[in-house]
Amino acid sequence: MRTGADVTSTALFLRNLTLTRFRSYTAARIALERQPVVITGANGAGKTNLLEAVSMLSPGRGLRSAAGEDLVATGAEAWHVAALFDSPDGPHEIATGGGAGGRQVTIDGKAAPQVALANVLRVLWLTPAMDRLWVAAPSERRRFLDRITMSLIPDHAEAATGYERSLRERNRLIRDQITDRAWFAALEARMGETGAILIANRRRAVAQLAAAQVEGPFPVADLALETDAPDTAADLASALAEARPRDIAAGRTLAGPHRDDLGVRYGAKDMPARLASTGEQKALILSIVLANARAVAASSGAAPILLLDEVAAHLDEERRGALFEAVLTLGAQAWMTGTETALFASLGERAQWLEIREGERGSEIRARNHPGRASVGRAKGICPSGTGASEMTEKANPDAVPPGTPGSGENICSRCGGTGKVDGKDCPECGGTGKVVTPIGGA
C-alpha cells in the first residue's frame, strides 16, 4: 500500500496556490504538500470554486466553461490565480487572470498564449455536471475528447484553435454570401491541414486511452472515434470544396472534424454507454478519467493534477477505496471535494486536509487534521500572510481569528491580494511584500 511518503517524484505537484478576487475568494494562499488534497465544507462554501481556480492553470475556460467576467469576485474588476509547481524538469510558475476584457497568462514570468499552458502543466477533472456526458450532445463528448487529447498531445490545442478559427471564417463567408472562390479555397486548405491533425491526434489519444484501462472495480470502456471526415489534409480540403454549395444552402459547414463524436460502449455488457444505468455511466466516466491520468503519466513521465469534485459521494466503499488506491499508485496530486469527511477517512495521513468556510469577506481556507487524528496537533498548509507555509494549531485558541481580521497582526494585503503587485508594479499599500501588519488592538 502506498503512503504519502511513497509518492513518486515524477509527478506534477502544486507547491502553493494564490487566489485573488476569484469568485467567492477575496484573497487566499495555500502552501501544499506532495500528496492528495481532501477539501471538505458545506455546500456553497467555495470548494468547487477552489478546484475551478486550479483548472484555470490549463488552457481554456476551466472546469465550468465559464466566461471571464463570471470568475471575478463581486465588486472587483479582474481575477488572478498564480501557482508554483514542481515538474520532472524543475519548478515553474504560472500566473493568469483577467475579466471581461480577456485573459492573460505568464509562464516563469514571461507572457505566453493560453495554449502554452498545455506544455507545462497537465490538469484533468471530473465534475458532477459530467455525469450525463453519455446522453448529452456530441459537442460535449467532443470537448471531453479534445481535453483528453490535449493532455496527451499538447500541440493539439494549437491545431484545434487553428481549425476553429478557419471554420468560423468560412461560416462567416457563407452567412455573408461572399462567393470569392480563392478565399474559400485558402480557408479550406487550412482547415484540411489542421483538421487532419485533429483527426490523427484524436485517434492516437483514443488508442492510448484504451491501452491505459485496467480491469477492476471500475468498468472498462470500448472507445472509438466516430468521424465521417477524410483522414488526409488534401482529401479533407477537397471534401470541403465539393460540399461548398450544400453548405451555402444550409448556412453553415455541415461536415468535418468539428462534427466528430466519441463512441463509448460499456464493455462488460456490450451496450452503448447512453443505455447503461446512471451508476454505470458514472463509473464509466471515472474509469476513463483514471485511464487518462495513467496514459499521461506513461507518455509524459509525470502524473497530472487531478480535480475530482464530489466524486466520492456516489461511490460505494469498495470503489471509494479503489479510487484512493488508484490515485496513490499514480502518485498524483488529486484534489477531492466533499461535504462529509468520513468519505475520505481511509486516506488518513496520506492526504492533506483542508476545510472551506464562508467568512465575512468570502470563502476562507483552513488547515485541519484528518478524522483519525486527535484534534490537538498541527496541520501545515494555510498561509494567511502570503509569505509561505505556516503552521496552524487545530486546538481551539481564544486568540485565533480568521486571516484578515483587524488587530490580528500580519495579514494579506487587501490592495494586491498578497501578490505584491498592482498593475505590474510594487503594491503601494504593502511595498511589494504581499502583507500588511495591523497593530494588535485593531483598527
d(CA 439, CA 441): 6
pLDDT digits (tens, 9 = 90+) for 14-50: 999 999 999 999 999 999 999 999 999 999 999 999 9
For 96, phi then psi, to 5°, come to -150, 155
- Please list the ranges in the chain whose pLDDT falls under 70: 1-9, 372-443
Please, are residues 51 and 19 in contact by the beta-carbon 8 Å criterion? no
E strand residue ranges, 324-372: 334-338, 352-359, 362-367
CATH number of 1-122+304-323+332-392: 3.40.50.300
What is the pLDDT of the chain when averaged over all its residues?
A: 86
Indicate the DSSP class of residue 117: G
d(CA 198, CA 230): 11
pLDDT at position 346: 93
Q: Do domains 1-122+304-323+332-392 and 133-301 have the same CATH topology?
A: no
Please, are residues 121 and 57 in contact by the beta-carbon 8 Å criterion? yes
E strand residue ranges, 44-109: 79-87, 90-99, 102-107
pLDDT at position 370: 78
Please, are residues 256 and 202 in contact by the beta-carbon 8 Å criterion? no
| Alpha carbon 3 to chain centroid, angstroms | 25
Q: The whole model's pTM is what?
A: 0.82
Hunting for cell 451496450 — which residue is that? Answer: 271
Question: Which long-range contacts link 239-248 to residues 24+ away (Cβ below 8 Å)?
Answer: 240/170, 240/188, 240/191, 240/192, 241/184, 241/185, 241/188, 244/184, 244/188, 247/174, 248/174, 248/177
For 161, phi then psi, to 5°, come to -65, -45
How crowded is the C-beta side of 242, counted as CA atoms within 13 Å?
11
| Alpha carbon 42 to chain centroid, angstroms | 22
pLDDT at position 369: 83
**Amino acid letter, 207:** A
3-state percent breakdown (helix, strand, coil) of the chain, nearest 5: 40, 25, 35
d(CA 403, CA 92): 27
Architecture of domain 133-301: Up-down Bundle (1.20)
pLDDT at position 10: 73
pLDDT at position 379: 36
Domain boundaries defined on the chain:
1-122+304-323+332-392, 133-301, 404-443
CA-based end-to-end distance of the chain: 52
pLDDT at position 414: 54
Hunting for cell 484545434 — which residue is that? Answer: 160
